[in-house]
Amino acid sequence: MAALSSGGAPWRRGWLPALQFVRRGSKAVTRHWKAMHFQRQKLMAVTEYLAPRPAVPPRCLTPRKERVEEEDNGYARLLRRQVEEVFRDNRMIAVCQYNSMPDEDVVLMRHYLRKHNIEVKFVLNEIVRPVLSQSKYKNLLPLFVARNILLVSPELKAKEMLRVLKGVPQINLLGACIDNTILSKQGVENLAKLPSLEVSQGQTVGALAVLPSQTSSLLQRGSAYLTALLDEHIRQLQARETGSPSEPAPAQSSGAH
């Protein structure tokens, strides 16, 4: 210990640190760049995201996309043409709201409706609305707001249609166009309560036949009464000439009493 404290080299004796001027606000650099561990480099390389490359170059996809759009437009035109034919070739077009139902029930409903010559048409609003907006059926546009189906028939089958729809609660009748006349649901129900065309024609013919018969009887009543009066007058004249008392006519005797 004495050797360390006395004599020897200067660095062995006690020493004071040199003065250093440090700028206020500066920070010492404690982090230095360090190479990434080899295992970490392999993990980062394996987990790096690689965007999938298209199987076909983009320059080859552009004509195909245009061709698909043309095909879609052609298909839409075909569907619109079919809707126009439906409204042109059928006397009864009923618009119904379609709710989801099993396929078996849909097949059964179509079978019962087909017995009465009523067809079910599934349509899209984006196809029907442009067609109706340019036709005389534009007042039907408010009905096409959800998933709809059309019940069409070349004949007037409102009563049969309501009878089938009564057993299918998933199908709600919204309105109809019958013989170029737009009817509400209540109007269709009132139309179904009317008698058939043949019965109505028979009732009309009977009512028209009653009026001529009554008119004919009224016209003949005056001439018959006049004839009876003339016969009675002639009988009285003949009785005066012969001097025999004339028998009173039934009408006169009844008037005397």
Residue 179 belongs to a domain: yes
Per-residue pLDDT tens digits for 170-206: 999 999 999 888 999 999 999 888 887 778 778 888 8
- Check: CB of residue 140 under 8 Å from CB of residue 134: no
Q: What local confidence, expressed as pLDDT, does residue 204 receive?
A: 82
Number of domains in the chain: 1
The strand pair at 119-122 and 181-184 is best described as unpaired
Q: 236 pLDDT band (50/70/90 cuts)?
A: confident
Say which CATH number the domain at 162 has: 3.30.70.1730
List the domain range (segments joined by +) for residue 175: 90-193
Q: In whole angstroms, what is the distance from residue 138 CA to residue 129 CA?
A: 8
Among 14-28, 32-46, 154-168, the minimum mean pLDDT is found in 14-28
Mean pLDDT of the chain: 79
Q: In whole angstroms, what is the distance from residue 48 CA to residue 51 CA?
A: 10
Per-residue pLDDT tens digits for 96-146: 999 988 989 999 999 999 999 999 999 888 899 989 988 888 889 989 988
Q: What local confidence, expressed as pLDDT, does residue 239 receive?
A: 83
Residue 9 belongs to a domain: no
Q: What predicted TM-score, i.e. pTM, was given to this entire model?
A: 0.53
| 116-122-128 Cα angle (round to 5) | 115
